[in-house]
Structures are given as structure tokens and as C-alpha cells.
Structure 1
Amino acid sequence: MRLVFLHSSDTHGFLLPTDYQNKDDYDAPFSLSRVSSTIKAEKAKYGADNVIVTDSGDCLQGSPLASYTHASDVDDYDNLHTFTEAYNEVGYDARCLGNHDFNFGQDYLAYYVEHNEAPMLNDNVLDAETDTPAFGQEYTIVERNGIKVGLLGITTQYIPHWEPKENVAGLKFVSAYEKIKHFAKILRPQVDVLAVLYHGGFESDPVTGEATEPHRGENEGYKILTEIPEVDVFLTGHQHRRLNVVTKNTAIVQPGYRGEAIGEVILDIDDNTKKIKNMSAELVDTKDYDPDPEIVKIVKNLDQNTQKWLDQPIATLSEPAPIEDAMKGRLEGAPFINLLQQMQIWFTDADVSATAVMSEKAKGFGKEVTMRDVLLNYPYANQLCRVRLTGKELRHIIEHSAGFLEKTADGEIKFLDRWIKPKPLLYHFDVFYPVEYEADLSKPSGKRLTKLTLNGKPIEDDQIYHLAVNNYRAMGGGFYPEYSMDKIEFTLDKDYVQMFTEYLTKNQVKVDTKKNYRFF
């Protein structure tokens, strides 16, 4: 017989085919509505009795509609209920949690989990007191045509490094590898096929084994793949990669970002022995499928209210603060980047600010600033921290950022391939303000800074400086040196929409347009 897995991940609340840049454009080649149509078509093709439908998280945060859903549910969860119903319409058989599903707190997440019609599988986010799943259940067994399929669900253990303390209070995050190793031995004897839903990726190339990032525990996919042979099917997410491969007797998929594709794993199973004879892994692009009219109907009012919310004016600037191109802005600076840094310093009274360009489509602000402008330029639900560092530690951090770059033989300055492939990671590349710094890219990484001054004075190794930076970075995101929890002086209980609104309305902001850093 044939057994088919259809898998989505990292839809990030993009329920309809729009990125909300243009309020009249609903033709984007992604969305949960396209995922739903794709899955329903593939189900009809293979027969529902032969199909298992799964998702590996990051649904609650990421799109403007997701932001509106959270912002508008002050007294009740009416909009979250609608949002959840859209996911129920897809017809999932099992799901797991993603790291961004914790962004809006545990009560919000608990409501979402409770109102999901599919089992939420969770082996490694535990109640700290009882060591039992804090949300959902440990596993489920699904039967298709006499074939018993065990499903396990895990997420990255790194969530406490990114979330504010209140979002993870009372929770214990355990290694995904350790939990799958434990449960695989329990579940495998009970089933014919074992599949793992993992909101996590691969720390090494799944085929060659070559390390693709530091092995710090965020992504444990390669270790699970190579050391837990009981796993037949590996349904992954988190890294936003497009991945479909069969290696080490395991079929692996990861279907990109925002519902651009679904992963499809096909197992040919012997009718008598119930052993897997053959397996394949493919990605099916959703752009070729019309949005599911049922999801469009469910979220119509929520989407219309989102569009009205996005057009709310926040403030009027004395002059625009653009960023003409995200890549150019990273390398040369831009008024919008400076404005963001100015705001971070205003809220924290820090000496120095650090930020990344958070969106490849960032265009900065015109003179009139709306909610849409803020969310399209800064789509993440981060909070702002102030971090206490010595000058030496600050230098190490800036040197690390300069290590992202190289200068080619023809003089072009570009990012190293490992920050572009297999997944772009340029949201890890921070620039700093108002320090003036220069980096000679011909020098070895870690020894590139030829200038580092603040207010005309060199940064002193033993002097204490205060750095404004988002909580994701301050808590260890991005593999930077020197950051640690004990260096965080405080975290603001505001998101970036709230901060921009307050900063721009309470101040006559003069946008700093000077360039303060140079790579050569």
C-alpha cells in the first residue's frame, strides 16, 4: 500500500495570499489558504484513507493579521478563535509547537492549543514541577489501511534564550534529541511507521554531515537523524528551508516559509510484512493552487479589520526615514536604521544601540507613518533590553558582526555564503550606533576593527557601556559572543509597534542621516 504524509510548517499567520504591503494585492504565492487547497487536492489524488496531514508550528506570529489578532483580543479571544478555525479547516491529523507560538504568552498559546481540533504533540516543553507536557500530549497513533503510524512532536529547546521570562515561567525545555531517543524506543514496537514532527532544523548537512552552524542545541536534526534509527519520517520546520531528501533510511521534508510549499513523503509499504519498501520526499509549491474558499470565508472579517488597523496613522515625521534597499542598508547604513537606533537609545538611556535589518522588503518610513509601515519594517514580536558590557566585550560583539563579510578579488563587499545558504540568516547581522567604526575585511575575522569610537573617544576595554538591543540577541540568539542573561539590566514590557508609536508621538524626532560605519 501507499502511505502519504502532507506537511506544512512556519506559515506564521499568513492566512491569505498577501504580505499586506499593498492592501489590494491578494495574489502572493503563499498562504495557509493555498496550503489548504494543495492538501485537499493531494488528499483527493491519493485517497484520504492513505494520507496523514501534519504541521510543525510557528503559526501564531509573523503576519500583520497575526499581530492584529493578538492586539485586538484584549478582553476575549474572539479573533484568536477565528484565527484557529482557519487552521482547523485544513484538516490536520497532528501538529506541534513552534518557538514563535510562545511570543504572546502562555494564556494565548493555551487557548490556541485547546481549540485546535488536531492533537498538539509535545514531548519536550514540560511543566517544571510535574515533568509532564505543559501543552498537548506526548504522542498519537494513527491507523491507515491497517498500517499503524506513531507520531511524536518536539520543538527547539532554545526557546528560553529568546522569550521574556514571563512567557516561559514554570516551563522546562528539554533536548529534542533526548526526548525522541526516549519515546522512539517506547513507541516503535507499537507501530509500523514512526514519524517525528520537529520545529527545529539541522545543525549539519543531512547528507554530508558537514556542520552548517555551531552545535549549541537550537537545531538537533542531524543528531536525531544519525543516532535514532527508529525514525522513518522526519517532518521539520523552523529554519524556513526548502528541503526534501531521503538519507540514512529516513525521508525528510521542510517546506519553506509562509506556506509557499507543502512537504510530501510517500512510503510504499508491503501489504503482508508492513515493512517500508521504498520512500520519496518532494515539495509541492502552493502557488499553483487557488486559495481555499472556506478559509477565505472564515477570515474575511478578520482580514478586513486588519487592513483598517494597518492604515491607522501613528505619527508625522519632519522628513522621511527611508531604507532604499535592505542589503545596501546593511552595508552602508540608512536613515531608517538610524531612527530605529535612536528610538532604542531613547527608551533605554543606553550609550550604544544595536539592530539588524529585520525584513528584506523594509522600505523605512515616509513622512506619514502608519501601523502598516511599522509591521512591514519590523515584523518580529521582540522586546527591547539594556545590556551591561565592558568595552572589550562590546568590541568582540562588533567584531563578530564584521565577520559576516568578505571582500572579493574585484573589490565587492558581500556576505559569506554560510549566512546566505542554505537559509538566509541576515537578521543576525547587527549594526551599531552612534559608535563610529571601520572594519578592514582583508584582516582575519575577529581582528578587523581599525576604528571604534563613541563621541569622538576610543572605546576603552575596561570601561562599562550600556547597549540597547532586542531580547532575541541579548538572550543568545545569533551565535554572538559575550551576551548572557546575567548582563541584561532590564527588559521593556513593550513591543516595537508600541515603542514606535510612543517615540514618534512624544518627540519632535530629527532623523540622523549620517553614516557612522564603514567596511573596506
Structure 2
Amino acid sequence: MKLVFLHSSDTHGFLLPTDYQDKDNYNAPFSLSRVSAAIKAEKEKYGADNVVVTDSGDCLQGSPLASYAHTVKDFSALKKFTDAYNEVGYDARCLGNHDFNFGLDYLTYYIDNNRADIINDNVLDEETNVPAFGREYKILEKNGIKIGLLGVTTQYIPHWEPKENVEGLKFVSAYEKVKHYAEILRPQVDVLAVMYHGGFESDPESGEATEPHRGENEGYKILTEIPEVDVFLTGHQHRRLNLVTKNTAIVQPGYRGEAIAEVILDIDDQTKKINSMTTKLIDTKDYDPDQKIVDTVKELDQNTQKWLDHPIANLNEPAPIENAMKGRLEGAPFVNLLQQMQIWFTKADVSATAVMSETAKGFDKEVTMRDVLLNYPYANQLCRVKLTGKQLRHIIEHSAGFLKKNGDQITFLDRWIKPKPLLYHFDVFYPVEYEADISKPAGQRLTKLKLHGQDIEDDKIYHLAVNNYRAMGGGFYPEYSMDKIEFTLDKDYVQMFSEYLTHGPIKVDTKKNYKFY
């Protein structure tokens, strides 16, 4: 017989096929509504009794609709949002790191109103050491085949979230918990599957390290050291993965519902042993949106569009960014405006930020909520960090290490582009004036680093404004640590832009303060 897994991940609240840049365009090649249609078509093809439907998190945050839903304080919008996910018909799900972005009350409501079982093995109550949400595992039966499901998320969540969003919780190694529960569950089932909101720290086939092994992603360790796992349903890295290696079927279905992942196991009817495994990704662009989801969120979507068009400020002059790549390498008025805002709120000496959206266009004179969310889509908070000049230099050197030189052209190293684009890790700094010679070895590239005309001094204390994701360890930068954070603002970037842009006349700094050569 055939046993089929259909898997989604990292839909990030994109319930309908739109990115909300053009309010009349609902033809985008992604969305939960397309995911649902694809899953229902495959279930009909194989028969519901042969199909297991799973999801590995990052649903609550990411889209403008998700941001709007969070502004409705009585949870009525979150109820409709959750109803849309319930319509897909998941058998089981696990949590993602961004599902913690809006706090524990919001997350708990979502979990409690989810019809699918939330499987959670490694987010524990810090006092009792038992799973704080959901259940430890699930055993379900399909045509006489017993399937065990485990669910884990990246243990790195406390490095990114403010303390109140993880209060009372303990995040432990996904590897350790999968190993523990696999030994318990494997004797009870014919097939063992793991949902993991995490990815691979090394290439699944070659074993070559693809990032520092700090615990954010433990997929390769799970794959190679826990042979009990048959099916590995992953997420977090937004990669498109489907392969069979080391007797394990591995999938990861991209981002925003652009695809669903399918694993097909051919199982012997008598022995219940797996004869063969195949994997593939099914692009959802070929499926019309599920009308039930469209109807469920129609009012929520309409309210989102009205909210996005609400003007929040008027600038004396535009603050554009021509395109994301050019903005990173050469700077842009919008990037400077963001830095100016961070300094205004924190009274820091220096500010660091990344270009957060590949489709960022910056601001025209009138700024709406849509403009803010399309340019800065993450639910980050702003921190002030205390550093020595030497530590600040190390941080800026690390950022310059993203780059390579081809003739006269400066580009990014391949590992920041593929297998997953990671350019939101590339920070630029303001108002320091700095230059980096990319022909020199990484770590020795800065040829100029001045603040207000004075060289940065190694032993002098400086204050840096930077988002909490970076300040708490995101992006593998040196020098950042929790003890260096002086304070974190209790505002997100939408709130900050609304306040900053309306506090009085703003002069957008248009000069370029850094150069790579």
C-alpha cells in the first residue's frame, strides 16, 4: 500500500494569494488557500485513509493580514485567522519561532482553537520540565499502518524573543528530544515521522557545514544520529528540499505556501516494512484558491486593506530605496531614515540595520501602514547595546565579510544567497563613516571607521541601536550577547514609525556614509 504525507510550513499568515503591495492583485503564486486546494486534490487522488497532513509552523506572523489580525485586541480576527488553518484539515502541527512573536496569550488562544493536534516535545515548562503546549506525540492509523508523529522547533527562540514572550518556558535541543521520544515511539509504530521547525546546519547529503553549528538548526544531526526517523518534515529555512538520503525522506516546502511537500512510502501489506520512498514538491500556483478559506477570511482581508491604506505621516521629501540589493551595497535614503529613527528612540551613538524586504521601495511623501509593513515586515523590537570600539569594529568587519570582489564588481558570497537567501543578516551602520577593501582577507577589511570625524577608539564605550533579533544572537555575528543589552523598547517598528514620522519635521539624510571597494 501507499502512505502519503502532505506537508506545509512557513506560510507566515499569507492566507490569500496577495502580498498586499497592489491592493487589487490576488494572483500571487502562493497562499494558504492554494496550499489547501493542493492538499485536498492530493487527498482525493490517494484517498483520505492513505494520507497524513502536517505543518511545521511559522503561521502567526509575516503577512500584513497577520499584522492586522494582531491589532484586533479581542481575538476575533485571530479566530477567523485560525479558522482558515483549520479548514486545511491538518492531522498534526508543530510551532515555529515566529509563532511566539505576538506573546503567549495570543499563541495560547491560537493553540486552543486549533483543531489539529499541536505536537511539542522541546518547549517545556521551566518548573515541571514537561511540554508547555500540546502533546508529546501522536499515533494515528491509516489502513492498518501505525504512524508516530513527533514535533519540535528550533531551540534558538529565546535568542530572538523578548523575555515576556517566553516567560516560564525552557527551550531544549530538538535533537535531544527527538532522540528521547524516538526510542519510546519506534517500537509502537510502523512509520516514524518528525515535524521540525528547523533546518539543516550541514548539507544533508555531503555533510559539509553550511552554517555555524550553534543549535539553531539541528537537522543534519537528527538525520545522521537518529536512525529511527523515516520521514523528516522540516521548515524554518524557507528552502525547497525534497530528497531521500540515509534511509530518510526529507522535505521542506519553501515559503508563504508556494508549495506543498509530498512523501510517498510504499509499504508491504504483510510485514508493514517500507519498500521504497519518493519525495516531491508540488507548486501551489497551479491550484485555484480554496473557496472555503477565501470566504472565511473575506471580512478580515477587507479590513486589512482598509488598515493598510491608512496614512500615518507626511514627509517633506521622499525616502526611496531603488532596489534592495543596491540599497545594501550603496545605501539609500530609506535606509538612512530607518537608522535616524533608531537613533532618535535610543539616543545611541551608532545604528545598525539590514534591508529587510527584497521588494522594499521606501517611502513616498505620504506614508501609509502598507508602506511600513512592506518595507519592514518583521515583528522586531529595538534595543540599545553597549560595546567597546573594538567590539563595534568586529561587528562591522563581520558584515563586510559577506562580500566578495569579481573584478570591479562587489557581490555577496554564494553562501548568503543559497541554498536560502540570508541577506537580511547583512547589516549596514550609521552615521559612522566607513570603508572596506573587499580584496583583503575577511576580518581585515576596514580601512576607515570614523564617527563625527573622529576614529573609533578601541577602548571607548559606544552605544549601538539594533533590533532585538540581532542583539540576541541572530545572524551569527560576533560580540552580541544578552548582557550587553542596555534596554529594549516596548514598541514594534510599525509603532515606532508612526511615532517618529509624526513627532515633527524630519530631514531625511541622503548622503552615503559607507563604501565597499
Q: Please give the range of the TM-score, normalised by the shorter of the 2 chains.
A: over 0.9
Q: Name the CA distance, whole Å, in 2 between partners of 1:471 and 1:30.
A: 29
| Corresponding residue to 1:416 among 413, 416, 422 | 413
Tell me whether 1:228 sits opposite 2:247 in the alignment.
no
Give the whole-Å Cα distance in 1 for the aligned partners of 2:187 and 2:209: 32
- 1:427 counterpart = 2:418: no
Q: TM-score of the superposition, structure 2-length normalised?
A: 1.00
2:512 matched residue in structure 1: 515
Q: Is 1:211 matched with 2:209?
A: yes
How many pairs align?
A: 517
Give runs of ≥4 in structure 1 deviating > 2 Å. Answer: none
| Partner Cα distance (1:71, 1:245) in 2 | 40
Match of 2:2 in 1: 2
Corresponding residue of 1:471: 468
Which residue does 2:45 correspond to in 1?
Answer: 45
Is 2:256 the partner of 1:249? no
Amino acid at match of 1:413: I
1:283-362 pair list within 5 angstroms = 283-362=281-360
1:1-20 superposed matches below 5 A: 1-20=1-20
- The one-letter amino acid paired with 2:490 is D
1:496 alignment partner in structure 2: 493
Measured in 2, the distance between the counterparts of 1:388 and 1:281 equals 48
2: CA distance between counterparts of 1:131 and 1:86?
Answer: 32
Please list the CA deviations of residues 474-493 of structure 1 after superposition, one character each: whole Å capped at 9, or x if unmatched: 00000000000000000000
**Which residue in 2 is equivalent to 1:100?**
98
Aligned to 1:387: 385
Gaps of 5+ in 1: none
AA of the residue aligned to 2:55: D
Q: What's the counterpart of residue 170 of structure 1?
A: 168
Q: Which residue of 2 aligns with 1:506?
A: 503
Q: What's the CA shift string for 1:38-66, capped at 9, x where partnerless?
A: 00000001111000000000000000000
Question: What aligned pairs does 1:155-166 form with structure 2 within 5 A after superposition?
Answer: 155-166=153-164
Q: CA deviation at 1:507?
A: 2.1
Cα distance per residue 1:442-486 (max 9 Å; x no partner): 110000000000000000000000000000000000000000000
3-state DSSP of counterpart to 1:58: coil
- Helix, strand or coil: the match of 2:18? coil
Post-superposition Cα deviations, 1:10-48, rounded to whole Å, max 9, x if no partner, equal: 000000000000000000000000000000000001111
Matching residue's letter, 1:59: C
CA distance in 1, matches of 2:394, 2:112: 45
What is the letter of the counterpart of residue 385 of structure 1?
Answer: C
Shift of 1:412: 1.1
1-structure distance, mates of 2:229, 2:408: 48
> Are positions 1:259 and 2:249 aligned together?
no
SS in structure 2 of the partner of residue 41 of structure 1: helix
Q: Deviations over 1:418-445 (max 9, x none)?
A: 0001000000000000000000011100
CA distance, structure 2, for counterparts of residue 455 and residue 139 of structure 1: 58
Matched residue SS, 1:493: strand
- 1:68 correspondence with 2:68: yes
Amino acid at match of 1:457: Q
Deviations 1:135-185 (A, max 9, x none): 111100010000000000000000000000000110000000000000000
User: 1:145 corresponds to which residue?
Assistant: 143
- Distance, in Å, in 2 between the alignment partners of 1:226 and 1:197 is 16
In 2, Cα distance between equivalents of 1:12 and 1:61: 5
Q: Which residue is 1:180 aligned to?
A: 178
CA–CA distance in structure 2, aligned partners of residues 492 and 464 of structure 1: 21
Identity of matched residues, %: 83
The two structures have a TM-score, normalised by structure 1, of 0.99
Please provide the CA RMSD for this pair.
Answer: 0.3
Which residue of 198, 201, 205 corresponds with 1:200?
Answer: 198
